[in-house]
Amino acid sequence: MADLPLFLAFVILAAFTYSSGLRAPASIAIVKDILIYITAIAAVIIIPYELGGFGKYFQPYRHRSSCGGAGAHTTGSYSGYATLALGSALALFLYPHSLTGILSASSGKVIRRNAAMLPGYTFMLGLLALFGFFVIASGVDKLPEYAAGFKQFGNNFAVPALLLHSFPAWFAGVAFAAIGIGALVPAAIMSIAAANLYTRNIHREFINKNPTDKQESQVAN
């Protein structure tokens, strides 16, 4: 039963995507972004306030450095962070949902506008990264009311437990909706990209070499 809400959400999104194409995940992505921003901003304000401020979260780590010390002829772990950032930036152009978003844009102006707004997502990811500190400081993994969830889902239950512990039930539901939609929207866009790749590169080349626009659209759907 734990997977039933996610299954229903996937079916609804799949039906919406089938009927509306790329417009469906593009429209839902707006709702997804709003929900995630609301959840992240509320969490970084309310949770530290409830537990006595940000100092409590970072106090145990003030003498630690994740980068470690660099030797005389090495950059240590610093190079790992630099190459990770560079590799992630270059890999972005290989993601199907990124290419689909670029190729479906109505103009170069739209692409430039969207690219200018991308740092907002990086800021949001920084807020979400704080959730790990919140989980450790709040100790939700040791609370008996969440033991069953951790036993069933492991560490994947950490953030849901944090949300259940820190927010009223109605807002926790909003946060869970944001998580679910946030996972399904990229999946819908990548499914469209995969369908188009199959239609153009396999079906059109080896099965039906002269399809009409309607036939090509039906196969992609």
What are the counts of helices (DSSP H) followed by strands (DSSP E) for the chain?
11, 0
Beta strands in 59-189 (DSSP E): none
Q: How far apart are CA 193 and CA 196, in angstroms?
A: 5
Question: Tell me, what's the pLDDT at 174?
Answer: 87
Domain positions in the chain are: 4-58+93-220
Range with top average pLDDT, 65-69, 93-97, 144-148, 188-192? 144-148
193 touches 97 (CB < 8 A)? yes
Residue 26 token pair: 């593009």
Measured CA angle at 142 (ends 140, 147), to 5 deg: 90
Rounded to whole angstroms, what are the CA distances from 152 to 15, 146, 157, 158?
30, 10, 8, 12
Q: How far apart are CA 28 and CA 31, in angstroms?
A: 5
pTM, entire model: 0.70
Residue 138 token pair: 């709040």
Q: Residue 185's closest CA among 37, 34, 26?
A: 26
> What is the C-alpha radius of gyration for the chain, rounded to an integer number of angstroms?
22
Beta strands in the chain (DSSP E): none
CA dihedral 88, 199, 201, 188 (to 10 degrees): 10
Tens of pLDDT, residue by residue over 197-219, are 888 888 888 888 888 877 777 77
Tens of pLDDT, residue by residue over 30-72, are 888 888 889 999 999 998 888 777 777 777 666 555 555 556 6
